[in-house]
Amino acid sequence: MARGRCGLGPVCRLNGRGEMMQGCGPLRPIRRPLIPSPVLRLESVSKIYPTGEVLRDVTWEVKAGDRIGLVGVNGAGKSTQMRIIAGLEEPSSGQVVKQGNPRIVYLQQEFDVDLQRTVRQELFQAFGEAAEVLNRQRQVEEDMGSERAANDADHLDALIHELGRLQSRFESLHGYELDARIDKLLPTIGFSPEGAEQLVGDYSGGWQMRIALGKVLLQEPDLLLLDEPTNHLDVETIQWLEDYLIGQTCPLVVISHDRAFLDRVCNQIVETERGISRSYLGNYSQHLEQKALEREASQSAFERQQKELASQQAYIDRFRASATRSTQAKSREKLLDKVERIEAPVESLSGPRFQFPPAPRSGRQIALIEELSHSYGDQILFLGANLEVERGDRIAFVGPNGAGKSTLLRLVMGIETPDEGRAVLGEHNVIAAYFEQNQAEALDLSKTVIDTLFEAVPDWTQTQVRSLLGSFCFSNDAVFKEVGKLSGGEKARLALALMLLMPCNLLVLDEPTNHLDIPAKQMLEDALMEYEGAALVVSHDRYFVSRVANKIVELRDGELVLYRGDYAYYREKKAEEAAGAAAAQKAAAQEAKRKANREKQQDKQAAKAAARKQAAA
């Protein structure tokens, strides 16, 4: 046996306390890596509503450093799990185990901000009682200047005393120190001190989301819950949010159907399917790879066992009545009864499946935008913009919120009239179908799902209508549900189904993936890639755009800048443009510095010449 230089034992051995020692010289315990204890753990959680069971057996945990993506089809129970974690609902069975008393902050899909407050005032609302005291203090100060206070000395005296109490309470809550925390946060969420004095209502939805997130972070959470935080955000704001969340140390659980977001932000995925949860280390794409490998391994193990069971059963059946081998056959039969069966792998829940009807033949030119100028009030959206859409083009329009992407689609469809120039469909047999951003909300909420389709195609048989609805995951009694009782995702699927009723050769789609879960998005992507007509698409879903578009048009400074390639090509060109602009800026700065040095040298030389001239005089 190999021994260390001490001669007391093997090179690696246990000490008297049972700790592994290694090496010679000073013997040190081998330290096992510390596994962070969970901040929170769901144990065998189930949830049953009057309408049915949503969660059956959900078990997973959140540890320090975790950024968990909660995924699953619409209706799988993702938001239910969030509400249980946040303490807004109780599980039907099972429990939520917390380490100590963690501060859990939940930013829901529809975040709450007051448009009439300034950004600073709205951020201050995060401080709970201190905010309530300050709000009341401002109200009292306003009341002190009222006509009643001027005419009623007793009322004014009561207000003065209340103000004194409020100021004392505000000081005891360290209220005057809280503004410093807001000042520290402002640049982190992208606001200047001046911008913080503007009204919340002056900012777009993306900036309002930053304010809502700022309020959450000022509460210093031990666990942050985000439900669909990228909804209605433009790409630039989504990328800012990704960078911000990656830089946070607070554990995070997020619900999102944005695959690019899940890939960048998450280091763990919890998928809920048929009420049961399963955890995967890594981001969304890695979880798909692991899931595929697991399924392949389970299928192989199941098939091997089935083959072996069939072989053994064949032997038993053959020799059961044999005089010489019946004992052996019965012995095998007993062993076979004791074998633990491997269950056949359960098929994953399938998303909707459909294809667009064959596109009628059209001319080469599908749409034309020529010298287009258009504005809303003082905001100029387009100024001499030009674009030609040809047969087979699948163009994605990109740009920040407010750049005019949806307006451009409405101009092409003739719903709006341009100030100058023109935006028209092609002249030769162009048949367009338009999916508005709020298309799902335009449905008649009082009708059932099946009646909605029958109204659009009264000549179809019930079999035809139910077949189409089935491809959008409306089956059995679901077709008789009232539209008003459908979820946002179900309404979006129904609105898409209505688009399939009439053949067209131009699809005009404004945010078609809003409210769709990932399987439904994949369905739409596959259908668009097989579609033979042209498509004009507005979407902030980068994964969707990267799969669907074969050209990108950026709305920039009133112009339509065409990139003749897919989204990867567009990003590559944008990186080149940014590098070129940075190089040009650096060269300009160097040239300005050289010019300043030359002027300085000239000034020195001129001063010396003047001094010599003066000395000579």
Stated pTM of the model: 0.74
pLDDT band of 3, cuts 50, 70, 90: very low
Percentage of the chain beyond pLDDT 90 is 36
For the chain, how far is it from start to end, CA to CA, in angstroms? 102
Q: Which two tokens stand for residue 361?
A: 């033949």
Percentage of the chain beyond pLDDT 70 is 92
pLDDT at 20 over 60: no
Residue 484 · residue 442 · CB < 8 Å = no
Q: Are strands 20-22 and 28-29 parallel, antiparallel or unpaired?
A: antiparallel
Residue 149 · residue 159 · CB < 8 Å = yes
pLDDT band of 8, cuts 50, 70, 90: very low
pLDDT at 352 over 80: no
- Judged by average pLDDT, the poorest of 57-71, 107-121, 284-298, 393-407 is 107-121
More confident residue, 2 or 158: 158
- Judged by average pLDDT, the poorest of 10-24, 149-163, 379-393, 539-553 is 10-24
What DSSP character marks residue 605? Answer: H
pLDDT tens, residue by residue, 30-52: 444 455 678 899 999 999 988 78
pLDDT band of 25, cuts 50, 70, 90: very low
Q: Which two tokens stand for residue 502?
A: 């009439």
Q: Which of 335, 329, 277, 229 is nearest to 94 (CA)?
A: 277
Mean pLDDT in the chain?
85
Backbone angles phi, psi at 105, to 5 degrees: -120, 130
pLDDT at 172 over 60: yes
pLDDT, mean of residues 443-449? 89
- Chain-centre distance for alpha carbon 138: 38
pLDDT at 1 over 80: no
* CA dist., res. 78 & res. 271, Å (int): 9
pLDDT tens, residue by residue, 76-105: 889 899 999 999 999 999 999 998 889 898
pLDDT band of 17, cuts 50, 70, 90: very low
Backbone angles phi, psi at 444, to 5 degrees: -75, 110
CA angle 120-83-69, nearest 5°? Answer: 85
pLDDT tens, residue by residue, 105-161: 898 876 778 898 899 989 988 887 777 878 887 888 888 888 887 888 888 888 888
* CA dist., res. 595 & res. 344, Å (int): 77
pLDDT tens, residue by residue, 203-233: 877 788 888 888 888 888 899 999 988 877 8
